[in-house]
Structure formats: C-alpha cells, structure tokens
Amino acid sequence: MEAALTGVEANGADLAGELGEAAVVCLRGALAAGPGRAAALDLLAADALLTYACEAAADGGAAGLERFAAAYGPARLARLLSESG
C-alpha cells in the first residue's frame, strides 16, 4: 500500500482520490501478475485502499461519497480491465 501511495501524485486530489488512485495502481499490479497467488497481495492492498478511500469520501457527506463512487466505481474498474486485456 505504501509503495502504491508513493507512486501517486496528489495533483490537488483529495484524500479519497489519492487512495483511489493508489488502489488502481495495485489493481494494475494484480492484473500484471496474472491469475494465481502472485496477485494476492496487490488485490488485498487494493481492497484496503478502496475501503479507506470510501471512508475518506464519506467524511465529505453523501455528495463526497457519490463523487467517489462515480470516479472509482464499476465503470472505472471495467475500463481498467479492458485496458489490461
């Protein structure tokens, strides 16, 4: 998780956005590792980062959580999968 966060540039993003981007870094790592145990740590890190990101977004109220869900929801993850394939 720390390595993924280090690789994320803030670019003025809020904490939820930074954590979300770090989760995407981990998901890309998991996809690159392929099926099997090699991807496990990246998947666990992505899960934790997305959990923390949702918590940070929720601190901004319903509107913050909605913005986060729009930016890092299923559509974004589907694009990530299609880019890796």
Query: What string of pLDDT tens digits covers the 85 residues of the chain?
Result: 888 888 787 555 689 999 999 999 999 999 999 888 999 999 999 999 999 999 999 998 999 999 999 988 888 878 877 776 5
- Token couple for 85: 């394939």
Q: Tell me the one-letter amino acid at 69.
A: A
Number of C-alpha atoms within 13 angstroms, CB side, residue 13? 19
pLDDT for the residue numbered 42: 95
Could you tell me the residue ranges of all domains in the chain? 2-84
